[in-house]
Structure 1
Amino acid sequence: MTLEQFFRENRKAAVAFSGGTDSAFLLWAAKKYGCEVRAYYVKTAFQPAFELQDARRLAGELDVPMTELPVEILEVPEAADNGQERCYYCKKALFTRLREAAKQDGFSFLLDGTNASDDAGDRPGMRALEELRVRSPLRECGMTKDEVRKSSKEAGLFTWEKPAYACLATRIPTGTRICMEDLKKVERAEEALAGLGFLDFRVRLYGEAARIQVTEQQMALLLLEREKVLEALKPLFSEVLLDLTARQASR
């Protein structure tokens, strides 16, 4: 099945829209192939501000209505406790809220941007999607991440080369309770590094310190900008550490 066939058969749908490459292309395809579609962005403390900005921009460019749904994710005990199943409980809470909002708007069919490259066996959140009967057209149609990027570029979507971005909760070590203060520190640190020209990196909490992960290609830039990095991050963390194991570039 192709995406065109999928949307010819399913004419009305709500899309869980993160502002990332996959859900952006899914939203484009739905609009392109004549589906009556509305985007839903779930806004939590786990999402950085730039993701919402990208989502608003893309929805505007596609002329697709977008609903923003604030959710106090840290009030979900299993998500804030940050155990091995955090992603499952987080997804369950977010998509339950999203489904409720979509249903009120007359949308019974809910989609997300999981693609065929995503490993279902390694993602607890996918179990929540299955339980809530969320469909994943990219996965069902066999579209890999590389194919999504290629097709997004051909469609003229600015998100085509956007690095994969896991939520801010992944910067906190599993088993360490997540608090707003730590999320804000990590977000500010990553904003600072992005402002210095870094791409596809992570700033992870390491006790009271920050552990920076960059790709092999940007190790030299990090050393060159060392003083600026320290100036930006030292007010936030007791120490700033560099992980010498280069981060694999996100696809």
Structure 2
Amino acid sequence: MNIAPDPTAPLAPADSLPELDPVLQRKFHQLVQIFAEMGRVLVAYSGGVDSSLVAKLAWDQVGEQALAVTAASPALLPEDLEEAIRQAQYIGIRHQIVETHELQDPRYAANPANRCYFCKSHLHDTLRQVAKTQGYDHVADGLNADDLADYRPGAQAARERGVRSPLAEVGMSKLEVRQLSRHLGLPWWNKPAQPCLSSRFPYGEAITAEKLRRVGAAERYLRSLGWEQVRVRSEKDTARIELPPHQIVEFVQKTDLAALVKALQSFGYLYVSLDLEGYRSGKLNRALNPPPPTTG
């Protein structure tokens, strides 16, 4: 996914950027003030649109006093890590990579409904140690206001460890995050969301490094065919492909389905299916609150 240009290229001039509406302008100024007041700040930086905006804002306000830290684990595709590195170079912020070992925690590997709590606990314990040893006063993440309306057990782990969420603090939605990112000249402002690979498994199915490799290979293959906003939901031996609803017909018409099935079977799946409802973020959370049965 080549969305980041040459990191040495300058950002777009201010007079060529879209205007901000008054509400977003106010939130922008509030964010500027928050980062100016925080001073030395460590940013939990995944390379997604949200954390990249936080990294950009931190760098603009405190410069070398800001550090972006990315966690490398089997749940992160290597190319996504490489992209995060390129984006940090583009922004200019200092960047550090740390390894996390959440798979060694049986509570995480069992994949309960609060799996993300254990993941973020490991992450923020690691980041807190980095902040302590390197003298950073605050840790900030990219949680936005829309995330507060979804089931996010990882947010609880962050709060328990004193992590600040500046975007959520000012009430900035995902759409506004993209608008402000575009205004600030970040070329990946419309980048598709790319949560960790563990989110591809239904709750209760154990997660292993091999399963993460398998689903990662499947999504990498689909990306190589040009389908960027795609999910492969991994359910035991079945790979269920999710695409935006408006792309489903095009996908079926243009894809060599036999070659696709052969490729995914070579990664270790026995069955390959296409979700006719299409992609929807957080779909696996339906299992937590299933809809009531219909009556005839």
TM-score range, shorter-chain basis? over 0.9
How much has 1:233 moved relative to structure 2?
Answer: 1.1
Q: Determine which of 98, 110, 126 is the counterpart of 1:81.
A: 110
How much has 1:52 moved relative to structure 2?
Answer: 0.8
1:206-225 to structure 2, matched below 5 A, reads 206-223=235-252, 224-225=254-255
Report Cα offsets for 1:110-151 as digits up to 9, x if no partner: 000001111256211111011001000111112111111011
Q: Distance in 1 between matches of 2:204 and 2:159?
A: 25
Aligned residue for 2:45? Answer: 17
Q: If you compute each CA radius of gyration, which structure gives the higher value, 1 or 2?
A: 2
Determine if the alignment matches structure 1 residue 160 to structure 2 residue 192: no
Aligned residue for 1:129? Answer: 158
Determine if the alignment matches structure 1 residue 190 to structure 2 residue 222: no
Equivalences, count = 250
Determine if the alignment matches structure 1 residue 231 to structure 2 residue 262: yes
Report Cα offsets for 1:213-238 as digits up to 9, x if no partner: 11112212321202342232121211
Report Cα offsets for 1:21-50 as digits up to 9, x if no partner: 000011111111235200110111111122
Report Cα offsets for 1:44-71 as digits up to 9, x if no partner: 1111122211210111112211110011
Aligned residue for 1:32? Answer: 60
Q: Distance in 2 between matches of 1:65 and 1:126?
A: 25
Tell me if structure 2 keeps the 8 A contact 1:45–1:73.
no
Q: Determine which of 79, 104, 119 is the counterpart of 1:90.
A: 119
Report Cα offsets for 1:178-213 as digits up to 9, x if no partner: 111110000000000000011211111122121111
Q: Distance in 1 between matches of 2:136 and 2:34?
A: 16
Q: Distance in 1 between matches of 2:105 and 2:187?
A: 34
Q: Distance in 1 between matches of 2:150 and 2:278?
A: 25
Report Cα offsets for 1:57-96 as digits up to 9, x if no partner: 1111122111100112210111111111111111111110
Q: Which amino acid aligns with 1:16?
A: A
Q: Which amino acid aligns with 1:59?
A: A
Tell me if structure 1 keeps the 8 A contact 2:128–2:139.
yes
Q: Which amino acid aligns with 1:171?
A: R
Aligned residue for 1:4? Answer: 32
Aligned residue for 2:81? Answer: 52
**When the two structures are superposed, what TM-score results if normalisation uses the length of structure 2?**
0.81
Percent of pairs with identical residues: 36
Q: Which amino acid aligns with 1:243?
A: D
RMSD of aligned alpha carbons = 1.6
Structure 2's unaligned 5+ residue stretches are: 1-26, 283-296
Q: Distance in 1 between matches of 2:112 and 2:209?
A: 17
1:57-68 to structure 2, matched below 5 A, reads 57-68=86-97
